[in-house]
């Protein structure tokens, strides 16, 4: 009979079926977070304290390789080159979302299909907008068109 008394003395479960985390779980999470913050703070302090703090006019030079700087330190690549690189990264990250949907398509059903369809439509509209605004045009013809507009 003690087992029945123990089972009846437990508080009822919430309607969702999940119970609140136990005190031990919250305590272990708090200890883990505290230790992580302590280690991060200790390592940042040690890096600051043990780091070199010498300042000199030579260290203020743009290059410390022993060669005197000449000219400007600006890149000569055209800006659209970097835009294309950024577009690649954006569309590559969005491809990750599409592949992750494809892995679980059978569990998501029609709701998941409609959500990924909406995502792809928004992605396509963004690509069309970039194309119409000239974000994908670069080279001599794009530079000539830019000069006519200005």
Q: Are residues 128 and 88 in the same domain?
A: yes
| Residue entry with tokens 């609140």 | 20
Asked if residue 16 is part of any domain, the answer here is no
From 2-16, 74-88, 130-144, the region with the lowest mean pLDDT: 2-16
**CB of 69 within 8 A of CB of 63?**
yes
Asked if residue 117 is part of any domain, the answer here is yes
| Residue entry with tokens 């792809």 | 120
**CB of 92 within 8 A of CB of 141?**
no
Asked if residue 90 is part of any domain, the answer here is yes
- Residue in 15, 149, 143 with CA at minimum distance from that of residue 79: 143
What is the Cα gyration radius of the chain? 30
Instruction: Dig out the tokens for 105 from the structure.
Output: 């398509």
Domain finish residue from 6, 34, 52: 52
* Coarse DSSP helix, strand, coil percentages of the chain, rounded to the nearest 5 percent: 65, 0, 35
Indicate the pLDDT class of residue 123, thresholds 50, 70 and 90.
confident
9-41 pLDDT per residue, tens:
555 555 666 788 899 999 999 999 999 999 999
The overall pTM is greater than 0.85: no
Give the domain range for residue 30: 24-52
Q: In this predicted model, which residue has the larger pLDDT, 79 or 119?
A: 119
Q: Are residues 82 and 120 in the same domain?
A: yes
Residue 133 has what pLDDT? Answer: 80
Cα(10)–Cα(136) distance, integer angstroms: 64
Q: Are residues 82 and 138 in the same domain?
A: yes
Asked if residue 100 is part of any domain, the answer here is yes
Indicate the pLDDT class of residue 89, thresholds 50, 70 and 90.
confident
Number of domains in the chain: 2
| CATH code where residue 121 lies | 1.20.58.1610
Q: Are residues 97 and 40 in the same domain?
A: no
């Amino acid at each position: 009979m003690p087992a029945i008394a123990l089972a009846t003395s437990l508080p009822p479960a919430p309607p969702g079926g999940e119970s609140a985390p136990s005190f031990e779980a919250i305590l272990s999470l708090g200890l883990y977070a505290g230790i992580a913050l302590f280690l991060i703070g200790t390592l940042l302090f040690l890096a600051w304290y043990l780091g070199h703090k010498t300042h000199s006019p030579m260290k203020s030079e743009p290059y410390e390789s022993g060669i005197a700087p000449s000219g400007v330190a600006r890149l000569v690549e055209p800006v659209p080159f970097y835009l294309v690189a950024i577009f690649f990264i954006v569309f590559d990250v969005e491809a990750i979302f599409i592949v992750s949907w494809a892995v679980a398509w059978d569990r998501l059903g029609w709701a998941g299909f409609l959500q990924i369809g909406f995502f792809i439509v928004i992605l396509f509209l963004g690509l069309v907008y970039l194309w119409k605004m000239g974000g994908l045009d670069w080279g001599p013809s794009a530079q000539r068109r830019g000069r006519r507009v200005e």
